[in-house]
Amino acid sequence: MKKIEEVIVVEGRDDTKRIKMAVNADTIETRGSAVSEETIKLIQKLAKTRGVIIFTDPDFSGERIRRIVSQAVPNAKHAFVARNKSVPTKLDGSLGVEHASIETIRESLSNLYTENTQADEQISRNDLMQARLINDDQAKIRREKLCAFLQIGYVNAKQLSKRLRMFGVSKEEFNTALEKIDMEGNLHA
């Protein structure tokens, strides 16, 4: 079983259990989206000594936690699980890391990103419109596919440009992802 040096920041104990089934790693739990000051201080200390990987659920609360921890630890690494790979088996459950398969968790943890806050904005709003990722009837579906392909976690139209810039997605990577999405669409047409 692969050993991960960094400490993985997760939302709760079910996430910890699932991650420990997939990899040999330590976790720290935020215990919800109201991340306490005490937890932030622990995460900051761990970031200095071992590094941290933020691995939260692909929903509103998970993204809120990711933002809070990212602000406190700008050099944190990020792992994302696709929304369609974290669906609960029960009808009343919510999307979550704890519902992802062992293979999906391993794949997510092998595709880490570090925020690139110094990156120039290479992909313009016009590029996003031409790619039908914003202001289009199919934009949400196309964004879901793009984010899944790039493994950067799903975001809405307002956040897409920032997420692409934050993770240093190049114009070439962006165009390659769009080609794959378009090819996939033609195969299903």
What are 89-119's pLDDT values in tens digits? 666 667 788 888 889 999 999 888 887 655 5
Task: For CA atoms 94, 36, 25, 6, give the dihedral sign.
Answer: positive
Within a domain: 2: no
pLDDT for the residue 122: 78
Are 131 and 103 found together in one domain? no
The domain total for the chain is 2
pLDDT for the residue 32: 80
Are 85 and 156 found together in one domain? no
- Whether 17 has a pLDDT exceeding 80, the answer reads yes
Within a domain: 104: yes
pLDDT for the residue 134: 93
Are 41 and 81 found together in one domain? yes
Candidates 39, 106, 117; CA nearest to 75 is 117
Within a domain: 120: no
Give Dmax (Cα) for the chain.
52
Gap between the Cα atoms of 129 and 123, Å rounded:
11
Within a domain: 43: yes
- Whether 58 has a pLDDT exceeding 90, the answer reads no
- Whether 81 has a pLDDT exceeding 70, the answer reads yes
Of 61-75, 129-143, 157-171, the one with minimum mean pLDDT is 157-171
Are 66 and 132 found together in one domain? no
Are 84 and 137 found together in one domain? no
Within a domain: 119: no
At which of 51, 82, 114 does a domain end? 114
Q: Is the model more confident about 44 or about 117?
A: 44
- Give the confidence band of 189 by pLDDT, cuts at 50, 70, 90: very low
> Would residue 31 be called left, alpha or beta, if left means φ above 0 and alpha means ψ between -120 and 50 degrees?
left
Gap between the Cα atoms of 128 and 49, Å rounded:
39
Task: For CA atoms 163, 167, 168, 172, give the dihedral sign.
Answer: negative
Are 15 and 73 found together in one domain? yes
pLDDT for the residue 119: 53
CATH code for position 50: 3.40.1360.10
Of 10-19, 23-32, 63-72, 143-152, the one with minimum mean pLDDT is 143-152
- Domain limits at 37? 7-114
Are 110 and 137 found together in one domain? no
pLDDT for the residue 176: 93
Within a domain: 159: yes
Mean pLDDT of 166-177: 87
pLDDT for the residue 131: 94
Are 72 and 138 found together in one domain? no
Are 97 and 142 found together in one domain? no
Are 145 and 52 found together in one domain? no
pLDDT for the residue 60: 86
